Amino acid sequence: MVAILVVFTIILFVGADLVVQWVRQRRARPVLVAQERGGGVADLLLPNLQPERFSLPGGLFFHRGHTWVNLLFSGQVKVGVDDFLQKLLGHVDAITLPPVGVEVKQGEPFVAIRQGGRTATLPAPVDGVVCAVNGELAKAPGLIKRDPYTRGWLVALRPTNLAANLPKLTVGENALVWLKAELARLQEFLHGTLTLRRDALVGATAADGGLLADGLLEHLDDETWAEFQAKFLSA
């Protein structure tokens, strides 16, 4: 009887190990297929980096540093993070906003988003004086991901040079053209410089066999994170 129990236990453990290996291989299969076909990680992201997967509300002005500007009837402007950046960011641990009364300049750093030990610094989309900040972000920084264009706004500004600033932003059809160009640039960036850990590749696999664009930056090493910052979040 004891011998039977020992044999049964061994079979149980071996079976469990085989199941775990099968699951791991199944999850990693999309990566292996891409490599066999001569492709790379970027090819797996293609289904998730189409323009229709990104929200681009009409009436908002977009800065190349992936912030948006909403002109208010009061003469102030609200500023936030666009859908492109929030999707790529992954989880957000904290957001540092400029204090009320501080003057910001278009293209200069004004907001910092922290993820673990790394920080993404965003350039101001227009010149202005900070007249309000979104206090909800202190306790719920993830709002910029869940609701980037409404509840997840960053700051309100009293613009000081709007006539000169607006021509440097995109809106409407031009914003869509710009988004498509940014997605093409991202594909090129991924092909050239992206390095992902195998653990992250497994965790990033989507149901359709591609890799999730959401949270991509979480899987970058520090060097590639810095390169993304320089290429996509600059003035």
Average pLDDT value for the chain = 78
What CA–CA distance (Å, rounded) separates 89 from 225?
10
Beta bridge partners of 122: 111
What CA–CA distance (Å, rounded) separates 227 from 6?
55
Nearest 5°: the CA angle 113, 118, 119 is 30
Mean pLDDT of 168-172: 96
Rg (CA), the chain: 22
pLDDT tens digits for range 69-86:
999 999 999 999 999 999
Positions of E strands within the chain? 61-62, 67-71, 77-81, 94-96, 103-104, 109-115, 118-123, 128-133, 155-159
What CA–CA distance (Å, rounded) separates 80 from 60?
10
| pLDDT value of position 133 | 98
**CATH topology classification for 57-177:** OB fold (Dihydrolipoamide Acetyltransferase, E2P) (2.40.50)
Picking from 183, 174, 69, 71, the residue whose alpha carbon sits closest to that of residue 126 is 69
Give me 118's structure tokens: 């790394």
Task: Output phi, psi for 202, to 5 deg.
Answer: -65, -45
Q: Does residue 55 or residue 107 have the better pLDDT?
A: 107
Please report which confidence band the pLDDT of residue 224 belongs to, taking 50, 70 and 90 as the band edges: confident
Residue ranges of the chain that CATH labels 2.40.50.100: 57-177
